[in-house]
């Protein structure tokens, strides 16, 4: 009988960038919380299935928005 080897399960982790022209002290707005809730309802768990990365413009929209 051949030895049974366990294969490591590869889990896909999605990375979502959140870009805001505001300062980080404002935090994500209510609409973004609705987005996070929808991810949970679809079965995604933060830090396991999806990682949210925040970037803040510190009040300088011209630094984060390319016209």
| Extents of the domains making up the chain | 14-64
Model pLDDT, residue 55: 80
Model pLDDT, residue 50: 95
**Could you read off the pLDDT tens digit of each residue along the chain, which spans 67 residues?**
555 555 556 778 999 988 877 766 666 677 788 889 999 999 999 999 999 988 877 777 776 665 4
3-state secondary structure at position 30 = helix
pTM: 0.61
Instruction: Give yes or no for a contact between 64 and 55, defined as CB atoms under 8 angstroms apart.
Output: yes
3-state secondary structure at position 40 = helix
Instruction: Give yes or no for a contact between 1 and 37, defined as CB atoms under 8 angstroms apart.
Output: no
Cα torsion for 59, 26, 47, 39, to the nearest 10°?
Answer: -100
Model pLDDT, residue 19: 80
């Amino acid at each position: 009988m051949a030895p049974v080897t366990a294969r490591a399960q590869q889990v896909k982790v999605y990375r979502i960038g959140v870009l805001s022209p505001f300062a980080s002290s404002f935090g994500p707005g209510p609409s973004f919380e609705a987005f996070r809730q929808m991810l949970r309802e679809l079965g995604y768990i933060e830090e396991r299935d999806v990682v949210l990365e925040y970037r803040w413009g510190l009040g300088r929209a011209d630094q984060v928005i390319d016209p």
